[in-house]
Amino acid sequence: MKSIQVQDLGRVQEIARVLARNGFGQFLTRLGVSQVLPSFAADGDEPTAPYARRLRQVLTDLGPTFVKFGQVLSVRPDILPKDVLIEFQSLQDRVPPMPFESVKEVLESELGRPWHEVFAEIDNEPLGSASIAQVHHAVLQTGEEVAVKLQRPGIERTIRSDIAILYSLARLFEGRVKIPGLYTPTDIVQEFDQAITRELDFLSEARAAERMRANFARDPDIVIPDILHRWSTRRVMVMEMVKGKPLKQHMRELQAEGGVDRKTAHLLMDATYRQVFEHGFFHGDPHPGNLFLTDEGQLAYLDFGVTGMLTGAMQDTIISAFTSLVFRDAEMLSMTVYRAGATSGRIDLRAYREDC
């Protein structure tokens, strides 16, 4: 572990303790960490909980960076097995909120004035609490209802340190732990690093929201909240309040009643097709917690920390792959995937076509 920085050793020790406490002491030995941190390798009782649940508990115990890492991986069946995916998906709902005093401190630090000069009131309890930020309902001094998204104090410094450690751990993984799919451990951390760096900049998120809002400006069934740029900074974003309920709540209610909502399903599919094939700009994290149904039955997109862009060539590739699947054209599918750059080496195209 020579690449670990001295200032990060305390955090590395904490990670080792958490892994050992959750029954992963032998894992530390396998990576060679026990040679540097021998006192932790044998710590902890004999594990009794399932592997996937213990792995999720590790991320929860290690805090926001690792919770976010698990959330990103929770939609990657090409990397993780099904039981781990299911456990990681529960991370969406299990982040404790920061105290209201911290909320006021962040607001006043970012706005450069007492919070009550801008807001007439702010709800003490958040509407939602995530690994990087939380959202509160508030009322401006003008009387306008808004949602206020605030970044957790010190979270960027914590994330930077944790990502440096993740890179070091990923290099330890290389060649020792087999990862399915096309990615190496370092590739996975690098992708996460790029995504979370964008999420830490609320001004970037505000621009993404404005672009999405412009793309759907003529669609009365899709709602993108307006951003109030006057009161938005890199760590605070104030936006139009969307009234309704999360899609995940709507789905639970439907399941309990045995009902089906075809209208919302078609709205979601149509909006997705338009983002991918028409706009070339898409919401990159459309899990049910980031989608709302308004009181008028519209579909609302929230949280634009992760978005993506598609070039014309990328769109053509997706269309070609989709078309070849519909018509069961194995030759067209194999050539499309190959030309898209799924491998950097030479392959037996005839054999690959037969596999397809």
Q: Which residues pair with 283 in a beta bridge?
A: 307
Q: Which of 211, 203, 204, 297 is nearest to 247 (CA)?
A: 297
Q: What is the mean pLDDT of residues 141-157?
A: 94
Mean pLDDT for 259-263 is: 88
Instruction: Tell me the average pLDDT across 118-139.
Output: 93
Token digits for 315? 């769109």
Q: How far is CA 278 from CA 127, 205, 215, 310, 315, in A?
A: 33, 21, 9, 10, 9
Which residue ranges make up each domain of the chain? 6-94+155-198, 100-153+201-309, 312-355
pLDDT at 268: 95
pLDDT of 21 reads 87
pLDDT given for residue 2 in this prediction: 44
User: Is the Cβ–Cβ distance between 212 and 224 less than 8 Å?
Assistant: yes
pLDDT, tens only, 8-31? 677 778 888 888 888 887 776 666
Q: Among the residues of 46-134, which ranges form H helices?
A: 51-62, 64-73, 82-89, 100-111
User: Residue 134 in contact with residue 128, Cβ under 8 Å?
Assistant: yes
Check if the beta carbon of residue 115 is closer than 8 Å to that of residue 104: yes
**What average pLDDT is seen over the chain?**
86
pLDDT of 176 reads 66
Active-site residue, selected from the candidate residues 43, 93, 201, 285: 285
Give 91-95 contacts, CB < 8 A, sequence gap 24+: 91/56, 91/59, 91/60, 91/67, 92/130, 92/287, 92/289, 93/289, 94/60, 94/67, 95/64, 95/67, 95/129, 95/130, 95/131
DSSP 170: H
* Catalytic site includes residue 285: yes
Q: What is the pLDDT of residue 34?
A: 54
- Taking residues 56-67, report their average pLDDT: 88
| Least reliable range by pLDDT among 30-44, 102-116, 229-243 | 30-44
- CA 322 vs. chain centroid, Å, equals 26
Position with higher pLDDT, 198 vs 28: 198
The Cα–Cα gap between 207 and 217 comes to: 15
Which CATH number is 100-153+201-309's, of 3.20.20.70, 1.10.510.10, 1.10.8.60, 1.10.10.10?
1.10.510.10
Q: What is the pTM of this model?
A: 0.79
**With contact defined as beta carbons under 8 Å apart, do 64 and 152 qualify?**
yes
